[in-house]
Amino acid sequence: MTTPLPSPALRPDCANCFALCCTAFGFSRSADFAVDKPPATPCANLADDFSCTIHASLPARGFRGCTVFDCFGAGQAVSQQLFDGVSWRANPSSRTEMFAAFGIVRQLHEMLWHLDEAGRRTFDPDLAADAYNLSHTISAVTRGAVRDLLTFDVGALHVRVRNLLMEVSEEVRAGFAATGSRHRGSGLHAGADLVGRTFRGQRLCGADLRSALLIGADLRDCELSGADLLGADLRDARLDGARLERALYLTQPQVNAAAGDAATTLPDRLAAPAHWFR
């Protein structure tokens, strides 16, 4: 497969978004969001120009979740491409469809993010071709008609994407000699409850940590090359000095939710959040 994977902008561009993350979703009051907010309703802190009136003090005001969220570029794609740059304020009748489209496109863009990595990490040309074809299908849906997007079977697609990601994960992790025996008995497995566990300084190469609960876990100075972190919950995990540049399926929201430092190494596509250095 010589044709490159489709590469729509998968990074947020808030300047070209109608604050869809501040309107479309609903939130219950929690440690991450200080108030109850119904779905399809503008947040009380949203300004008329779609900026956040408390942007500089979100964590201090109880809105830490807003600093963690990442739309994978869905916001500007929906605002500018699907709805031609006409906001839900300018055309209130578009609200319902625009907010629903945002939720769907965010899911699809997250799939594109992972498929891009899967296509680059696998050495199997058939898997690379599958990743390309799935990405192509998704890109076409996100650029098509809104009515087709809103009736698209995201669930069925998600199963196909998940299966492919798992196949590539097994291949990558096998390359790190971690097909199961290496971490047997360590409690490291997909979906493991590892909340608050201490792994400081350990070599976790090729570990299957997919969907693992690593909330508050101590991963300082760990070697995580080839570790599958798809959907792992890294809230408040300590990543100081951890080597993650070759970890698999890591995303910006996961990094944003964790704590790290200047010695933490990340994949090229990801950036250390500012709060790591305060």
The answer to whether residue 265 forms part of the interface with ligand SF4 (CB under 6 A) is no
Of the candidates 272, 275, 211, the one whose C-alpha atom is nearest the C-alpha of residue 242 is 272
Identify which of residues 34 and 244 has a Cβ nearer to ligand SF4 in the complex. Answer: 34
Identify the residue among 10, 66, 78, 172 touching ligand SF4 (CB under 6 A).
66
Provide the b/e sequence for 263-274 (b: ≥16 CB within 10 Å).
ebbbbeebebbe
Total of residues contacting ligand SF4 (CB under 6 A): 8
Measured from the Cβ of residue 107, the count of other Cβ atoms closer than 10 Å reads 18
What is the C-alpha separation between 131 and 217, in angstroms, rounded?
32
Identify which of residues 35 and 145 has a Cβ nearer to ligand SF4 in the complex. Answer: 35
> In angstroms, what is the minimal distance from the CB of 234 to ligand SF4?
20
What is the C-alpha separation between 196 and 193, in angstroms, rounded?
9
Distance of CA 24 to the CA centre of its chain: 17
Residue 52 β-bridge partners: 46
Identify which of residues 49 and 268 has a Cβ nearer to ligand SF4 in the complex. Answer: 49
The answer to whether residue 190 forms part of the interface with ligand SF4 (CB under 6 A) is no
151: amino acid identity, one letter: T
Identify the residue among 14, 52, 129, 146 touching ligand SF4 (CB under 6 A).
52
Identify the residue among 18, 63, 88, 99 touching ligand SF4 (CB under 6 A).
63
The interface mask with ligand SF4, positions 8-47, x = CB under 6 A, is --------------x--------------------x-xx-
| Cα angle 134, 114, 266; round to 5 | 155
The site for ligand SF4 (CB under 6 A) is made up of 22, 43, 45-46, 52, 54, 63, 66
